[in-house]
Structure 1
């Protein structure tokens, strides 16, 4: 019964629509009606600015971190945190509180890894920003950071980590399929560096 509660809580945590809350409460704007229509951090940055974008991205990361920590908090150490983390990612992507239309799984996936393997999280963030600096495309940076994560995990010998990072990366790439088409067509929006 406790394990079921943990999974439900993980999904509900993931389902918290940070972008929607910040947009409506702080700015009186439904970000689903602006930009890409996505609830994630990238659309929040573009629609509401740096401050709102940082708040939403941080909240989305922490959702994954908190969800992955639930087995420990509930004393269920036999339940793998990555498994619970996946449920939170699904909640973020298909949130019950926002008509099952959420973000692209990047920040919450990162939050899960922050709890489980902080070094992997930190180096993935570094790769993300390096690629972002070079190509100025958030979508490509997210996908390549995921690919790096898969490569990193292979060297750990941690089978659950390898499987989950690979699955999450494939899911992130799947969620970015429209971005991939725009990248190929050279129409993907780029970050404007000051």
Structure 2
């Protein structure tokens, strides 16, 4: 019963659209009407300002971190813990409050893995930073980090459940970034610092 309650809590918390809530609370407009139309931190930063993008990033990451950290304290089974983190992640991708049309999940996935494997997150973040620095595409950095994370998790000997979660989140990351991948292949993807 505790597990089910925590899974439902994680999903409902993950469903909270941080950027949209902030935009409405402070009268900033709807970030879905500009840029990529996404509710995530990158588009919020692009449409509403870097400060709000950073706050959205933090809020979205906490949606993943909080329930996963609670699960780590409540359950000994890695699979039980991972299922709670995955519920939060799916909540962001398919939010109840937005008719299941959510964001791309990078920040919420980040929060989940910060609770589960902070050392591995550091190395995935290095991959992200190098790719963004070299090519100035946030989406490419996200895709590279998502692809590298399961390998990093396995290298550092994390439980199979955590590695499987890394593979699942990586797969969903490529799926949610399919439009970005098309633009990357066409050379039309928005670069860091590029207007518009």
What is the TM-score when the length of structure 1 is the normalising length? 0.93
State the distance in 1 between where 2:176 and 2:18 align. 18
Asked whether 1:188 is paired with 2:192, we answer no
Give 5+ residue unaligned stretches, structure 2.
Answer: none
1:121 offset after TM fit, Å? 1.5
1:99 offset after TM fit, Å? 2.1
| 1:115-153: CA deviation from partner (whole Å, max 9, x where unpaired) | 011111122222211211111111110010111212212
Aligned to 1:53: 53
Aligned to 2:75: 76
Matches within 5 A, 1:163-182: 163-182=164-183
Asked whether 1:153 is paired with 2:153, we answer yes
SS of match in other structure, 1:187: coil
State the distance in 1 between where 2:156 and 2:24 align. 42
Give 5+ residue unaligned stretches, structure 1.
Answer: none
RMSD value, Cα = 1.5
What is the TM-score when the length of structure 2 is the normalising length? 0.92
SS of match in other structure, 1:80: helix
Matches within 5 A, 1:1-194: 1-73=1-73, 75-78=74-77, 80-157=80-157, 158-192=159-193
State the distance in 1 between where 2:15 and 2:146 align. 22
